[in-house]
Structures are given as structure tokens and as C-alpha cells.
């Protein structure tokens, strides 16, 4: 038995360890193999795009990394620490964050409250029965995050009244709460207008350098503009890895993906 978060774990977690290290990760649902023997390494601060058609296993990959699904085989190391058996909240408290493809926001709450809950989640005081004061630090960081994703004008609006694009921005703000060390972005640009996509790319590019992310994206344009390295999944396996230009010019990838019917 390993105790999650013991001192020695933290010690090895800093320094030169990889941000994320997947070894032989597999996951099947009954007879359906959604993910097969995926190994992947991410250096701290690295920005990686994961491409692949529908059903290639991209979202399953994220679900395994965050702990929504237990992998059938393989291990996951996060900054050197083996988190394979950890419950979701323990992984989050170590600095892992994700956004969701289908929005899982609290639609009855305001933008401020959504971000506030996200900021509280990784604090010890998340059980507090005392209300926050006006100049509490969590409040300040909440407002800072809202500004970061350009939502300050709608900060007290209920989420259900937000435009779709604004909801996606809020999703991003919630993933940035606390002290994130790695983001998993699940199709953040889906359903956005070209202008909104531009804004998103801007926000992502402006993230601090040490903060790496993995981005699932259908829009090659967005993916290739923000990521320095690309992993291509096909039928649950890693199909190709390389720089954006290598991937773009790979004949197999073009045959499989870029030349496909939905281009």
C-alpha cells in the first residue's frame, strides 16, 4: 500500500520528472477495446495535441488520466508519482486539471460562483461552513481567473444565461483554478465561431510557460497553432507522433484523417 501524497512522493515529484508518463495504458469496455497499449511522455511545460477521428479513444484517454475510468492495464505517473490507483480528487489536488467536451458546469450558479467552487476545491478549507469575507484571497483569485478568460462583464450572470462560447471560456477558467501543473483540454474549440477560436488560441498561448497541456482538437488549425508536438490516435492505439509539420505532411495521416470525408 502506498500512502497518497507522502513526503517522499512529493520529493520525487519535483525536479526533473516528466509531467505525465503513460506506460502501456489500456482500457476496454466489455469486448470493445477503447484504448490499447498507449505509452506517452510529456515534459513539464510541454504542449501536446492529440488528434484522431471519432472513437479513436481520445476522451477515454482523458478519462483514464483523471480517474473517471480505471485502466484495464498500464500505469500513469504524474510528475514522477504513480497515480494509477488514486481517486479523481486526489489527482486534482496534485495539479491535474481537465475541461469537458459536454459542459458540466453548474448552470444555476453565477460565473463567479462556478469559478469560486473550482478555486475552493483544491483548498483545505473546502469544507468550511463559514462564508468568505469580501477581501478573501480566494475571492481575489476567482476574479483574476474570470478576467483571464475575458468574462469580467458577465461575472454575476447565471451560467444558463451565458452564450455557448462564454461557457467554454468559463470551463477553461475552472480548469485553471488553484495551482494547475497540467491541463487536459477536451475539444475546447468545438462549436465556437472563428472569432471565438482566435480568442481561445490567444488565451492558450498566453498561459505561463511552465504550464503544459494536452489538447484534444478536431480543428487542426487550432491544434497545430498551440501545440508543439502531436500524437495521433487511431482505433485506440498510437498511430503517429511528431511535430505539427511532420504530421501534416505524413502521407498515412493524410490518407487517414486529413483526406477523410470530414476533412
Residues in contact with another protein by the rule CB under 8 A? 66-68, 87-89, 92-93, 98, 100, 104-110, 112-113, 116-118, 120-122, 125-134, 139, 156, 174, 177-178
| Least gap, CB of 104 to another protein (angstroms) | 4
Question: Which residues, other chains included, contact 144 with Cβ-Cβ below 8 Å and sequence gap of 6+?
Answer: none
Q: What are phi and psi of 60, to 5 degrees?
A: -60, -40
Comparing CB distances to another protein, the nearer of 62 and 257 is: 62
Nearer to another protein, 201 or 214 (CB): 214
Q: How far is the CB of 172 from another protein (least distance, A)?
A: 13
CB of 252 to another protein, least distance (A): 35
Q: How many CB atoms lie within 10 A of CB 127?
A: 7
Nearer to another protein, 98 or 197 (CB): 98
Q: What is the spatial distance between Cα 153 and Cα 224, in angstroms, rounded to a whole number?
A: 31
- Distance from C-alpha of 166 to C-alpha of 183, rounded to nearest angstrom: 19
Minimum CB separation from another protein for residue 111, in Å?
10
Q: Cα(96)–Cα(82) distance, rounded to whole angstroms?
A: 13
Q: Are 177 and 208 in contact (CB under 8 A)?
A: no
Please state the closest distance from residue 253 (CB atom) to another protein, in A: 31
Q: Pick the closer one to another protein by CB: 117 or 148.
A: 117
Beta 237-242 vs 229-234: how paired, if at all?
A: antiparallel
Assign 3-class secondary structure to 105-118: CCCCCEHHHHHHHH
Query: Of 61 and 238, which has the nearer Cβ to another protein?
Result: 61
State in angstroms the smallest separation of the CB of 250 from another protein: 34
CB neighbourhood size of 86 (10 A) = 21
Closest CB 145 distance from another protein, rounded Å: 13
Q: Quick one: 105 or 144, whose CB is closer to another protein?
A: 105
The beta-strand segments (E) located in the chain are: 20-29, 32-42, 47-51, 73-78, 81-82, 96-98, 182-186, 212-216, 229-234, 237-242
Closer residue to another protein, CB minimum distance, 51 or 214? 214
d(CA 68, CA 62): 8
Alpha helices of 14-136 — where are they, by DSSP H? 58-66, 88-93, 111-121
Amino acid at each position: 500500500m502506498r500512502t497518497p501524497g507522502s513526503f517522499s512522493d512529493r520529493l520525487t515529484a519535483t525536479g526533473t520528472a516528466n509531467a505525465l508518463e503513460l506506460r502501456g495504458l489500456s482500457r476496454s469496455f466489455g469486448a470493445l477495446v477503447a484504448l490499447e497499449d498507449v505509452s506517452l511522455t510529456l515534459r513539464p511545460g510541454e504542449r501536446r495535441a492529440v488528434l484522431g477521428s471519432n472513437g479513436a479513444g481520445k476522451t477515454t484517454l482523458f478519462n483514464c488520466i483523471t480517474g473517471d475510468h480505471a485502466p484495464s492495464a498500464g500505469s500513469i505517473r504524474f510528475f514522477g508519482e504513480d497515480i494509477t490507483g488514486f481517486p479523481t480528487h486526489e489527482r486534482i489536488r496534485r495539479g491535474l486539471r481537465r475541461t469537458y467536451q459536454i459542459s458540466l458546469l453548474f448552470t444555476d450558479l453565477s460565473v463567479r460562483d462556478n469559478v469560486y467552487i473550482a478555486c475552493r476545491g483544491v483548498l483545505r478549507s473546502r469544507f468550511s461552513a463559514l462564508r468568505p469575507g469580501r477581501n478573501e484571497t480566494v475571492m481575489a483569485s476567482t476574479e483574476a481567473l474570470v478576467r483571464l478568460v475575458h468574462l469580467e462583464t458577465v461575472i454575476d450572470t447565471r451560467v444558463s444565461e451565458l452564450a455557448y462560447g462564454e461557457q467554454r471560456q468559463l470551463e477553461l477558467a475552472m480548469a485553471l483554478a488553484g495551482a494547475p501543473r497540467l491541463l487536459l483540454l477536451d475539444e475546447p474549440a468545438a462549436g465556437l465561431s472563428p472569432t471565438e477560436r482566435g480568442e481561445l488560441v490567444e488565451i492558450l498561448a498566453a498561459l505561463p510557460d511552465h504550464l503544459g497541456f494536452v489538447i484534444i482538437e478536431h480543428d487542426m488549425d487550432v491544434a497545430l497553432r498551440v501545440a508543439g508536438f502531436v500524437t495521433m490516435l487511431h482505433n485506440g492505439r498510437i498511430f503517429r507522433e511528431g511535430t505539427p509539420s511532420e504530421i501534416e505532411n505524413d502521407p498515412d495521416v493524410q490518407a487517414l484523417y486529413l483526406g477523410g470525408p470530414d476533412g
